[in-house]
């Protein structure tokens, strides 16, 4: 397996492409937008430059990595030689189902289809294909080039052979695979999102302020980043989407999104990517100023 196609050139997609390319794989990075692809390659280049500056890789390593990536705006053209496709599009179930239907039609018969979804059912995605045994979840963590964990999610029909192959492949790109089963939120988000949601509830009920909540979790629980800052980093819209998946999947009120989170997303306060969430990022991407809150 030397050809890896990655669908989506956003934060997760370009990070996944970067990682595979750095370990010698030929990567076809695919996005419907040429402008998104340009931004994706620029991000990869910037991250590689940072690694060169820190003397983690050489200039030659950087150039080799970039030369291993080819961009496409057509899924059909980009996947024609792919042994593995990793879908990293927006966390939207209808979009993912549409993409996997197309992938099933245009990919070689033996291509493994993986999704980077953080919460959507692998079994549901696999069901729209004619190759459910070859569909699997590869949930990378952000930022992909740095974070070691990859959740490997087995769908109801995922074969043992595909599971074993993807676990071994994950190790080859210097990641640590953790095998989990296909239930809403898997492990990472089933535990993380209720914590973030409860942190928003704590703010919503005026128990403490943004910085106070984050400080308690950082200094008291040894978290490297407070839950509200982490929510801004992930994207409040993404957090809301995952909580809705959990709530719909389990019908348990403990997963119901806090009204404050819902209101903030409706108001376009999505975190770092919109310039404001629980913190104000208008002057810096660092969580230095608390944004104005509303209930």
**Active-site residue, from 3, 83, 139, 276:** 139
Q: Give residue for tokens 């104005």.
A: 292
Angle, helices 236-250 vs 259-266, to 10°: value is 130
Is residue 274 part of the annotated active site? The answer reads: no
From 189, 197, 199, 241, the catalytic residue: 189
Q: Is 18 among the catalytic positions? A: no
284 included as an active-site residue: no
Given 9, 118, 121, 241, which residue is catalytic?
118
Please say whether the beta carbons of 37 and 60 come within 8 A. no
Of 151, 197, 199, 276, which one is the catalytic site residue?
A: 151
- Is residue 74 part of the annotated active site? The answer reads no
Q: For residue 175, what are the β-bridge partners?
A: none
Positions marked active-site: 118, 139, 151, 189
């Amino acid at each position: 397996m030397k050809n890896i196609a990655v669908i989506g050139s956003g934060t997760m997609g370009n990070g996944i492409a970067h990682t595979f390319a750095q370990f010698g794989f030929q990567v076809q990075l695919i996005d419907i937008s040429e402008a998104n692809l340009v931004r994706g390659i620029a991000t990869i280049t910037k991250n590689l430059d940072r690694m060169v500056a820190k003397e983690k890789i050489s200039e030659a390593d950087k150039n080799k990595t970039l030369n291993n990536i080819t961009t496409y705006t057509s899924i059909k053209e980009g996947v024609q030689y792919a042994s593995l496709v990793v879908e990293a599009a927006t966390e939207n179930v209808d979009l993912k189902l549409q993409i996997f239907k197309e992938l099933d039609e245009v990919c070689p018969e033996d291509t493994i289809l993986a999704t980077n979804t953080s919460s959507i059912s692998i079994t549901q995605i696999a069901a729209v294909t004619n190759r459910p045994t070859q569909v699997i979840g590869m949930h990378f963590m952000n930022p992909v080039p740095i974070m070691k964990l990859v959740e490997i999610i087995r769908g109801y029909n995922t074969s043992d052979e595909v599971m074993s192959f993807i676990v071994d492949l994950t190790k080859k790109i210097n990641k640590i695979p953790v095998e989990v089963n296909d239930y809403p939120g898997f492990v990472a988000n089933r535990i993380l999102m209720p914590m973030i949601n409860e942190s928003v509830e704590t703010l919503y009920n005026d128990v403490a302020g943004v910085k106070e909540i984050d400080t308690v979790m950082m200094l008291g629980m040894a978290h490297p980043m407070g839950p509200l800052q982490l929510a801004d980093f992930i994207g409040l819209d993404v957090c809301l989407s995952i909580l809705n998946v959990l709530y719909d999947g389990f019908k348990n009120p403990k997963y119901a999104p806090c009204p404050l989170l819902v209101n903030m997303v409706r108001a376009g306060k999505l975190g770092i990517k919109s310039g404001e969430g629980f913190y104000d990022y208008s002057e810096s991407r660092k969580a230095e100023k608390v944004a104005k809150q509303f209930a």
